[in-house]
Amino acid sequence: MAEGHDSARGFPAFAARKGGRARGKSWWGGQFGQAVEDLWPEEDPLKRGRALARSGRIGPLTVSAGRIAAQVHGGEDGPYSAELTLRVFGDEDWDALWEKTADRPAEAEAVLAGELPPDLLEAAEDARLGLLPGYGDMEPDCDCDEPDHPCAHAVALAYQFSWLLDEEAALLLFVRGRDAEEAAHELGSALMLRAMMSMDGSDDADEEPPESEDADGARHTAGPALRGTPAAEAYARPAAELPPLPPMPVTAAPAEEPEAVTGIAADPLERLVADAAAAARALLAYTHGLTAEPPAEPDLWQDTVRIAATHPDPRVPERLRAASDRAADLDRAAQAWRHGGAAGLRTLEEAWEPPAQETARARTALAAAWEADELPELEVRGNHWTLTGRGLQLRRGRDGRWYPYRERAGQWWPAGPPDAEQALVLAGLLEEDTP
C-alpha cells in the first residue's frame, strides 16, 4: 500500500428511502453508481441490491484506504458482514495524477480547495488511472451463502457508498489512498516543483537577492531560484504604472454573406462528411455483430428529421419546415431524434402492443424498485405508460429502451434520453416534475 492516510472513517447508517433511483444524485455519486452497474451487469443482484440499499437495514459504513465495509441486518442468519476491496494507488500513480492535474488550472485550483471537480476524471484517465471502479479493480466479499457474485449485500453497500459521495466527493480519493488534505499538499508540491523547474538559473549563495518595490511602497525579495536570471532582473525593476486603456474598437457593420454558387447558404460538405462517418460506423457495428440488422436506408421524412435535428445552422430547420408537408410535426420529431436517433423517432410515431409477458415483467421490475405506496398510478395502453393526472409518460421502444415524455399543449413531447431501466426513467421524470 502506498504511503498515505492509514485511518478509517465511520459514517452513520442511512435511513430507509422510498422509491427513486438508487445511484447517488451528485455527479460523482451518479458516476460511481453507473460504474458499479457496468461492472456487475447482472440484473437480479442489482435489483435486489437496490431494494436492500433503500431498506434501512445496512448499518454504519466504515471507509478506509482500499476498503468499504458495513453489516447488513435482517436476514435469517444475519447480520452479514459485507465489504468492498478497491485497489489503492501507489506513489507513482499519485505523482502521475498530479502531473496531469497540474496541466488543468481550474481542476488544480479545485483540488487545492479540497473539492473534487468532474474533469479530474479526465486527468486520471490521462494518467492511465481509474478513479471509478472497473473490471478487476473492486472485489466484493460477504459471509452470506448467496450464490450470486456479487451478492445483494455487497451491491447495496456499493450503492450506499455512492450516496456518501453525494455529501463528500473527496471520499473517492480517500478510498484510493489519499485524503483531501494529503491530495492538496501533494498537488501543491507538484505545482511548486514545476514552477521552479521552469526558471532557468541556479542558486548563488554569495549574491544578495534582488529586491523590488510595488505600487504601495512594499519591498519584496526574489527567491534563490531567481537569482542571476533575466527573471530576477525584471523582478528588481521598479514597478511602472500601467498604460491607459485603449479606446473601444468601432464595430463594423456585418458584411452581407455572398450568395453561394449552389444556391444553398450552408456549406453541405461538412454535413456530408459527418453523414458518411455515421453511416460507416453503423455498418461497422453490424459487421462486428454489435447490431442485429444492417442500418436501414432512411426515407425522405426520416432524412428530413435527421438533418433538422443534427444540423448546427438554425436556418436549415427553417428551410426544411417551409419545404415539408409535415411542418407541424418537424420540431417534435427532431427532438425525438436528438434524444434517441431513428429508434427515438419510431417510438414517437408508432404505437404498438408489446407481448403480455414483457409487460408483466416490466410491471414486476418497476414494483420491485419502488415502495408500493410510493409508486405512481400508471395507465398502461400498449407501449404507452401514462402517469394519471401528471402529464408524464413512459414509452417502450422496439429497441427495448424506455423513453420519457411530457405533455405540452395537448401533445406528448420527448423529454430526455432513453434508458433500459424503466425505474430510472420514471425517477428522472418525477425529479424534474418536483417543484
Q: Is residue 16 part of a domain?
A: yes
Same domain, yes or no: 94 and 186: yes
| 317 pLDDT higher than 60 | yes
What pLDDT, on the 0 to 100 scale, is given for residue 166?
Answer: 92
Specify whether 56 is located in the same domain as 124. yes
* Angstrom distance (rounded) from CA 421 to CA 425: 7
183 within a domain of the structure (yes/no)? yes
Rounded Cα gap, residues 28 and 256, in angstroms: 48
**Domain co-membership, 129 together with 97:** yes
Structural domain contains residue 218: no
Q: What is the pLDDT of residue 281?
A: 67
**C-alpha cell at position 161:** 457508498
Q: Are 113 and 139 contained in the same domain?
A: yes
Least confident of 70-79, 131-140, 169-178, 328-337: 70-79
pLDDT, position 30: 92
Looking at residue 220, what is its pLDDT?
A: 46
Counting the structural domains of the chain, the total is 4
Residue 363 lies in a domain: yes
The lowest-confidence range among 147-161, 261-275, 366-380 is 261-275
**pLDDT at residue 302 above 60?**
yes
Range of the structural domain that residue 314 is part of: 299-350
What pLDDT, on a 0 to 100 scale, did the predictor assign at position 200?
Answer: 46
Whether residue 209 is contained in a domain is answered as no
pLDDT at 389: 85
In this model, does residue 167 exceed pLDDT 50?
yes
Segment 208-261, tens digit of pLDDT: 444 544 444 545 444 444 444 455 565 566 767 777 767 766 655 555 544 544
Is 264 within a domain?
A: no
Handedness of CA 251, 256, 260, 264 (dihedral sign): positive
- Determine the pLDDT at residue 223: 45
Task: Identify residue 64 by its one-letter amino acid code.
Answer: S
Q: Output b/e per residue, 187-220; b: 16+ Cβ within 10 A.
A: beebbeeeeeeeeeeeeeeeeeebebeeeeeeee
Query: Which residues are 388's β-sheet partners?
Result: none
Task: Give the three-class secondary structure for 231.
Answer: helix
- Return the C-alpha cell found at 283: 455498418
Q: Are residues 24 and 103 in the same domain?
A: yes
Please give the average per-residue pLDDT across 138-147, as a whole number: 86
- pTM of the entire structure? 0.48
Taking CA atoms, 430 is separated from 53, 397, 417, 425, in Å, by 20, 20, 15, 9
Query: Letter for the amino acid at 148?
Result: D
- The stretch 176-194 carries a mean pLDDT of 89
Highest mean pLDDT of the ranges 128-137, 263-272, 308-317: 128-137
Please identify, among 192, 215, 248, the residue that sits at the C-terminal boundary of a domain.
Answer: 192
Nearest to 4 by CA among 153, 123, 181, 154: 181
Asked if 83 and 39 sit in the same domain, the reply is yes
DSSP secondary structure string for all residues of 171-192: HHHHTTT--HHHHHHHHHHHHH
| DSSP β-bridge partners for residue 139 | 85
The answer to whether residues 280 and 134 belong to one domain is: no
Strands 61-64 and 9-11: antiparallel
**Cβ atoms within 10 Å of 401's Cβ, excluding its own:** 19
In a domain, 199, yes or no: no
Instruction: Rounding to the nearest 10 degrees, give the CA dihedral for residues 109, 112, 115, 120.
Output: 60
Whether residue 70 sits in one domain with residue 126: yes
Residues 336 and 397 in one domain: no
Residues 385 and 310 in one domain: no
Q: Are residues 28 and 177 in the same domain?
A: yes
Q: Quick one: 26 and 54 in the same domain? A: yes
Q: What is the pLDDT of residue 280?
A: 74
Longest dimension (CA), the chain: 90
Is 248 part of a structural domain of the chain?
no
Q: How confident is the model at residue 93 (pLDDT cuts 50, 70, 90)?
A: very high
**Which of 169, 192, 215 is the last residue in one of the domains?**
192
